[in-house]
Amino acid sequence: MNHRNPQSTRPQPAPVPDVGQPASGPLTREELQLAARNHSMPLEALRREVTPPGLHYVLTHFDIPDQDVSSWRLRIGGAVGRAMELGMAALRRDPAITVPVTLECAGNGRSLLEPRPLSQPWVMEAVGTAHWTGVPLAYLLGRAGVLPGAVEVVFTGADAGIQGGVPQRYARSLPIREALRPDVVLAYKMNGADLPPQHGYPLRLVVPGWYGMASVKWLESIHVATAPFTGYQQQVAYRYQSSADDDGTPVSRIRVRSLMVPPGIPDFFTRRRFLRAGPVMLEGRAWSGEGAVTAVEVGIDGTWLPAHLDKPAGGFAWRRWSLPWVADRGEHVLACRATDITGATQPLEQNWNFQGMGNNVVQRVNVTVE
């Protein structure tokens, strides 16, 4: 087995989506191990427009690589006029942009599904928004000179492992038209500081509007391809499938979603919320990778009310919403539901799929008002 370059654009063996059939049974040891490694964003961090490292969600398929920036190089090759190899000092001399981007894991909400696909068991907090600074990918592709016939760009990270029986380094592709968008960035800073190790140090891709799997971390190689990429993370993982036998469709842009800061104080174990009667500001954030969020409704015991929307920080950054509520004593169920400019709105019931992708079901919060 060759751990360094196990993938190519050659067809893979028959797809083996992760670990077999979804389960109706209890959480497994393997899922707990993944939950211990991969971090979600505590919902109270929704109060912050920008999510600090350590609160932003992190999903690492394999291990976090130790990267030595003095020997690290980014290779750009394939169907380009001028293949290049760049160190970090050279990249920092290139023009830089900063984009505020909400990233969400495509598997967010997976553990809520029934039956439950066996993978990272996110509840609903696999999200975060950061300001990413770096070189526009389009600028570097322009310097390299994309040749006619290019259809995709393949991004490969330093992180290596085995998934679905396939040894691999984490790799994903983007269609050439997406790769040439002006806001797709090769980021070396997060919120103004060097990338933390777990966010891809020293360099990662950030693709605004797409689920997080597209934003390849620990980036080492950019390959302009003349045929669609068939690596595991493209052809097998990250697909909307109805069953193991269904080829399905690729996961791409983030479906519209909103989340609420649970009001009041929690019970440690159940996380049930307790609140004193009286006025309280319900608030949260909403986002969509398809375009602007146009409305958020707040459900209070089944009655939907329109929330106030603040301006978003950018085209693919979340938007704060708020609604004052006068809480009266008793048990209440709160919910929030966003709609985007395409008319898409969050479902009230789960949309199940075989890999547990894109579950943007409405969040519900049980509150005891005393």
* Kind and range of the H or E run holding 125: none
We find the least distance from the C-beta atom of residue 165 to a copy of itself, in angstroms, to be 9
Count CB-CB contacts under 10 A for residue 314: 17
We find the least distance from the C-beta atom of residue 271 to a copy of itself, in angstroms, to be 5
Q: Which is nearer to a copy of itself, 172 or 253 (CB)?
A: 172
We find the least distance from the C-beta atom of residue 236 to a copy of itself, in angstroms, to be 12
Q: Are 294 and 339 contacting, i.e. CB atoms less than 8 angstroms apart? A: yes
Q: Are 283 and 331 contacting, i.e. CB atoms less than 8 angstroms apart? A: no
Q: Which is nearer to a copy of itself, 276 or 308 (CB)?
A: 276
Q: Could you tell me which residues are beta bridge partners of residue 194?
A: 189
Q: Which is nearer to a copy of itself, 8 or 33 (CB)?
A: 33
Round to whole Å and give the CA distance between 320 and 260.
10
Q: Which is nearer to a copy of itself, 31 or 340 (CB)?
A: 31
Q: Could you tell me which residues are beta bridge partners of residue 97?
A: 134
Q: Which is nearer to a copy of itself, 85 or 194 (CB)?
A: 194
We find the least distance from the C-beta atom of residue 41 to a copy of itself, in angstroms, to be 9
Q: Are 133 and 242 contacting, i.e. CB atoms less than 8 angstroms apart? A: no
We find the least distance from the C-beta atom of residue 264 to a copy of itself, in angstroms, to be 9
Q: Which is nearer to a copy of itself, 80 or 236 (CB)?
A: 236
| Residues in contact with a copy of itself by the rule CB under 8 A | 1, 3, 18-19, 25-27, 30-37, 39-40, 42, 44-45, 47, 52-56, 58, 60-64, 66, 111, 118-119, 121-123, 125, 160-164, 167, 196-199, 262, 265-271, 274, 276, 370
Between the CA atoms of 8, 10, 13 and 15, what dihedral angle is there, to the nearest 10 degrees? 80
Cα–Cα distances (Å) from 247 to 234, 236, 360, in that order, read: 12, 8, 22
Which of helix, strand or coil describes residue 349? Answer: coil
We find the least distance from the C-beta atom of residue 64 to a copy of itself, in angstroms, to be 5
We find the least distance from the C-beta atom of residue 147 to a copy of itself, in angstroms, to be 34
Length of the chain: 370
DSSP letter assigned to residue 51 = P
We find the least distance from the C-beta atom of residue 48 to a copy of itself, in angstroms, to be 8
The two tokens of residue 268 are 């440690």
CB-based contacts of 226, cutoff 8 Å, min separation 6? 78, 79, 149, 150, 151
Round to whole Å and give the CA distance between 238 and 107.
8
Q: Which is nearer to a copy of itself, 33 or 342 (CB)?
A: 33
Q: Which is nearer to a copy of itself, 53 or 315 (CB)?
A: 53
CB-based contacts of 122, cutoff 8 Å, min separation 6? 38, 40, 105, 107, 108, 109, 110, 111
